[in-house]
Amino acid sequence: MPHPLDGARLKLHRARAHVHTVDREVAAYLGTQPVQVEDRQERDGNRRHIQWVATSAHEPPPELGVIVGEWAHNVRGALDYTVYELVRRETGEDDPRWTQFPIVVEEPRYADQERQRLRGAPDWALPVFRGLQPFNDGEDAPWHPLAILGDISNRDKHRLVHTAAMQIAGSQARVSGTSMMAIHRLAQNPGTVDGERVILDAVLDTDGDDFQIELNVQVSVALEQYEIPIVPLLEGITYEADSIVEWFSPALD
């Protein structure tokens, strides 16, 4: 039998398809080697100042932002659909268009959102919706999965994806070799490459050229302001939304 939340599930199915498309597009973009790393060195006697500088040759294709926007539309729509069906069941209204899943980062704003968007929702569901809000994470609220979803939904999709992010795998850079005398600084600085970014800054004393610096650098694509690889980010938010939809599902059986 059809279930009232089948529409929400269909939207999440479409969202997952968008994530797969993003994954393919990101792989194709990274295949063009969009980020280059240059080894720059200055030497004064035994003292060496070494910097690894990353430069971005070109941004990800603008179409990627459009796909992410479509993903956000479907995930957001699945959550809104869930509230719609709960209110419809509770009130008997055929089309309660005022409903929306609230996503609130600042707690003082929640009461108005609850009054406007959750009018007619069953009483037992209200504390559940409140407990799902990003503001419950305090200072980390802007990085809550739903907060990121809300932010993406409200952005200009053509400016959404335009950063190449440098991710460093492993814990620390390593220096080895028989010429090593002393390490005065060995700092790594992963993150978004906007023009140029110094991803490693080292000051070493050596008595020759037999030394190596090892740093496992990975390049990924990230959303503006969120230096997290885009595909795992979208997957995690989709999973969060799916968990919410399925939690409410038994109430509508």
* Burial class (CB within 10 angstroms; exposed 0-12, middle 13-18, buried 19+) of 68: buried
What is the reported pLDDT for 156?
Answer: 62
For the segment 149-162, the average pLDDT, to the nearest whole number, is 73
DSSP classification of residue 219 = E
Higher local confidence (pLDDT), 234 or 173: 234
For the segment 243-247, the average pLDDT, to the nearest whole number, is 98
Q: Cα dist. 9→13, 38, 103, 185, 249 in Å?
A: 6, 47, 20, 52, 10
Q: Are 202 and 189 in contact (CB under 8 A)?
A: no
What is the reported pLDDT for 161?
Answer: 59
Distance CA 86, CA 121 (A): 6
Average pLDDT over the chain, rounded to whole? Answer: 90
Q: Does an H or E element contain 209, and which?
A: none
- If pLDDT is split at 50, 70 and 90, which confidence band does 229 have? confident
Distance CA 242, CA 235 (A): 10
Residue spans per domain, the chain:
6-252
What is the reported pLDDT for 74?
Answer: 97
Higher local confidence (pLDDT), 192 or 203: 203
Res 173 pLDDT > 60: yes
pTM: 0.86
For the segment 193-198, the average pLDDT, to the nearest whole number, is 84
Q: Cα dist. 39→51, 198, 221 in Å?
A: 6, 10, 22
For the segment 154-180, the average pLDDT, to the nearest whole number, is 69
Distance CA 87, CA 82 (A): 9
What is the reported pLDDT for 36?
Answer: 87
Q: Cα dist. 33→164, 191, 192, 238 in Å?
A: 11, 17, 15, 29
pLDDT digits (tens, 9 = 90+) for 55-88: 888 878 888 888 999 999 999 999 999 999 999 9
Q: Is 179 helix (H, G, I), strand (E, B) or coil?
A: coil
For the segment 108-124, the average pLDDT, to the nearest whole number, is 96
pLDDT digits (tens, 9 = 90+) for 177-193: 999 999 999 998 888 88
Question: Can you spell out the DSSP letters for 16-82?
Answer: HHHHHHHHHHHHHHHTT--EEEEEEEEEETTEEEEEEEEEESSPPPTHHHHHHHHHHHHHHHHHHHH
For the segment 128-149, the average pLDDT, to the nearest whole number, is 97
For residue 128 the two structure tokens come to 């559940």
How many C-beta neighbours within 10 Å does residue 135 have?
A: 17
What is the reported pLDDT for 1?
Answer: 82
pLDDT digits (tens, 9 = 90+) for 25-44: 999 998 998 888 899 999 99
Distance CA 199, CA 219 (A): 12
* Burial class (CB within 10 angstroms; exposed 0-12, middle 13-18, buried 19+) of 156: exposed
- If pLDDT is split at 50, 70 and 90, which confidence band does 158 have? low
